[in-house]
Structure 1
Amino acid sequence: MADPASYRPRPGEIPTDPGVYRFRDEHGRIIYVGKAKNLRSRLNSYFANPATLLPKTHAMVHHAASVQWTTVGSELEALQLEYTWIKEFAPRYNLAFRDDKTYPYLAVSMGEKLPRVQVMRGERRKDTKYFGPYTAGAIRETMDTLLRVFPVRSCSTGVLRRAERSGRPCLLGYIDKCAAPCVGRISVEDHKALAQDFCDFMGGEGKRFIAKLEKEMASAVSELEYEQAARLRDDIIALRKVFERNAVVLAEDTNADIFAVEQDELEAAVQVFHVRGGRIRGQRGWVVEKVEDATEADLWEHLMQQVYGGQGEQSDVIPRRILVPQLPANHGELSTWLGEIRGGKVSISVPQRGEKAALMGTVAQNARQSMILHKSRRAGDLTSRSLALQELQEALDLPMPLLRIECYDISHVQGTNVVASMVVVEDGLAKKSEYRKFSITGEAAIDDTASMHDVITRRFRNYLAEKAARSALATSSGEVPRAQVTIPNIDVPGLGVSGQELPAEVPKSKFAYPPNLVVVDGGVPQVNAAQRALSELGITDVAVIGLAKRLEEVWVPESDFPVILPRSSEGLYLLQRIRDEAHRFAITFHRAKRGKAMTASVLDSVPGMGSAKQKALLSHFGSLKKVRGATVEELALAKGIGPVLAQAIHETVSAEQAVRATPSVNMATGEILD
């Protein structure tokens, strides 16, 4: 651990302007990003008497090895820059809000020629309208009910194309839950209008559609069309079922997000009710580990940044009113920033009385229940992870806690398409953003030990190269641990503030952070190969072990006997999970590479011939056989194929045909083989 005094800025060196500061660890990784109205006042508080610091702050400043800052023109610019860097670097000691469960959304892809209704999770897509979030059961029931009245396409692209080729709709088309635009039952324009009606209904215009259907039903009854009237009656019942599922809690013109929190010294559980058109349209929750000494006002500020800051073109999800139990820090600048993203005014307020305050009490009750559930579920998991890491450290007699473990596995079929995987576990949890995969060729693909030596060498050679590059960049730019950059104006894309660009940062590294422990899938040969690679690079502070599959033995370098962990050991379970994950990741990559190799074409070897031009060429001629029989002039007629490329294609195809036409000869008898 570093001594904060070793990198503390000199007196008077820190400016008193507003700005953003970054703490980095010894490997250059940003571990904390913060903003301040007065940088000098804020940063000096981190270097106070260690005995007066709260535990989380004490851990952060002792983990860090340097501090840097950037001055900006206003508190609003500081807010924007802080959000940008937190999103880019995901610092370990910043508040990180994680969903306490995965919430699906009902999405309508209005950007497609034939819009599709589907259940979606994850990142939002352009030209897609989202409704929710919902619980998993409720969203399926809602979608199934609405497709009776609005039979919008819900099939995948593959099913759609098969139906278009065959001229027959899928099952949903036969049971009238799809208007079947794939076979022309409805025009493209009418189908798009149907999808828009679906969106309008989900957007809160349910009464308009119900009233319209009631008029049509009355008209059908007056004309004695009782079967049509019965169908309309069923549609009305379905729409009312969906429309009335969400209780009316506020005035019909109210669009707001209502937040509440339940917290203790270590964690906080946040809940929000999404109220649209006076009805609760969805509920969502987060749990955050309070790894910094944040007040409740700071917590709300960080939550607003993370929940609404990344919406981009989905600015419609930011309501006009946001109700919280306590105003966020810098709530004026925060409202301005959210208003720029939304494209309209956003107010952040605390309800004092009436319906909104009563509803916030209900949200707070949900937050309390969420905290209780989270603690009961996490208690066993946190205990087992801590026990596993401690058992491994003691069994291997390692001096440092196992904060980061990397596991490597080799995958191939009889020495072909050799690949390797690297999976990463930090604090006992998989960190998939750090996973890496390697292709292995040449002499390194001779056997597993050579492959393992090659992969370990490449991974840690890259680490050393990036470390040297970072050091060289700091030296050439005159940067020291007490670096300062002044930016009068900041240009953050999508945030509406124009001016100069952000300062140049060291590019995001792929191998910048070394592990405490390297695990290889295999026994003594693989372990020794990995250790030899590290020794050749001069790396001595990384431990290496191997996990042999047969008896699940743990092997260490230059040892005649394995380390035997009890079968019920949490440490062994952790190693097995890491090894199995590395095997899964490696074999997935191997299968993809093998499949690509099996579909290789002679066109792959044509210089300047990419996949798009290959598709255009094959689409023009219909088959590779016709490409082989075409002249240079005919080849040049294809889209994107000029005379030079046509000549190259003709020469490559002709050479391949000549090789295929050359007879094979039995070298022992001289006999020509067919």
Structure 2
Amino acid sequence: MTKETLRELVREAPVAPGVYIFRDKKGAYLYVGKAKDLSARLSSYLTSDNPRTRALLRRAASLEWLVTSSEAEALFTESSLVRFQKPPFNIRLAGGEYYPYIKITVKETWPQIFPTRKLVEDGSLYFGPYPDAAAARRTIQAIRSLFPIRPCKYSLPSKRVSLCIYYHMGRCPGPCENEVDPEVYAGYIRGAVDLLSGKTKEAEAELERAMTKAAAELRFEAAAAIRDRLLALRKTLAAPAGFGEGGESRDIVVVKAGGNIAAVSLIALREGRPGVEERFLMEAPDEADPAEVMSAFLKDYYTSRPVNCERLVCVPLPEERELLEEALSERAGRRIRITPPTKSDKNFTEIASLAAEEHLARAVERMRKPIHPGLRELAEVMGAGEMRRIEAFDISHTAGRETTASCVVFLDGKPAKSLYRRFRIRTARPSDDYAAMREVIFRRLRRLIEEKEGLPDAILIDGGPGQLGAGLEAMEALGVNIPAAALAKRYEELYLPDGGHIILPGKSKALLLLKRIRDEAHRFAVSYHRTLRGKRGMESVLDGLEGIGAARKKALLRYFGSLERLRGASLEEIEKVPGIGKKLARKIYESLR
């Protein structure tokens, strides 16, 4: 875009708050900005000598703007557009597609709630970002415990769907067969939206309305269930939300920038007590000021989730501090202050600073080292941090006989065959795959602990929820907590420890990696099982032969390895086995034909 073209467009820009958008020749978003005065802000592009601005104008083919009612509204609009469009010239979450959000499909007749990394402008509501998939799932679990929103992802109404176990457990109201009034269900959705937006009083009101309606319709059992949820919500809110009681609630946010990336560490303090600690990465140009990065993070993080504190302690202070205070206060319905650290904040600020520095250093190191394309996605799905070492387990047997297990190790997405291990199951009953899985994972992890070799970053199990549960029991018995998942063969479903399951897209790099690891574990288990089965078959054939005792059986097994090889051996080859003479060799040779 030439300066002449830009100058003509600027003449038409209104003296009003709003959002402006630069696009390239194909119409893709290049940069989204906001302004208190669009005319004045766009005029500044005519005289700017900033290298990033010059690069933007070289690629830009068009410019448009949206007028808003206030600068605060412009801030929220800008944040939403950046989140959905991911323009390359904006400072934004690094690898934003890997940070999960919570999606509520409010346009559906019977809306769903689930975690997603794909932001689509389909009328749904999105809340986030969350630092990992596990955090998003925990939030959804908490929401569902208060508002019984259906856990299935079917398109309703549908003749193919009927009441499931969640309905009979009281965890789903049964919209698939119209067991719940649409208005009552809509109230549950409004309550979930209110809670995720920080509007706790409105969320309580939705439950109160649903309880009153159920009682008026003489559905006393339903009214009692809603009452219990209402009491649980009030109990949950009473613990952390007492602003000013027993200590101030505040978030400590520290940004550390280096090169074209910046790390953010956030420590949430509630009533003076430390809560969660989260870490994020931001993509930022080399010349971006840390204050600019802080501003971008606060807009992205706090404009799509509740601000559950009185004060944001920021190092450094963000650009547009007063505007951010105004916008966040307006959204929260109370005053939110953005301040530098005070004396009482010093210790936690230092902790957050060290965490941000460490996160940045690790990110820079990862950028230097090629990473398997599926590892980052897999780490987010499983709620893990680094995913350098993955160990996978599989069980193999024939009608419960010769039960064996395999453990294969993948380092940085590649098989490390020298670290593979195989096991003969000792204690599990025949055909009890769950007990076999529990035994092998217990034995493997116990040995790693005893020999101080270091635990894996994640565990993959070939099977479904039963096998996964057995593996989790083994870990619990040892007092270890390792991210784990089970991959079922039939529909390639990934089962997670929280009881949920995910069907990854067919082209997902994480799914391709998981299948490769799972199939390698299966191959290794089957090969060992076949070896043992072959040895057992040889032993049974040799049992009836006179002159073949335990020592000679062992010699034959060591020499040939399996019954198939012994059957294919010539008489001369059998005669070469130590301890087997010509006469005994002929007897063995003839008995196998």
TM-score (normalizing by structure 1): 0.37
Q: Which has the higher contact order (CA 8 A, sep 6+)?
A: 1
TM-score (normalizing by structure 2): 0.41
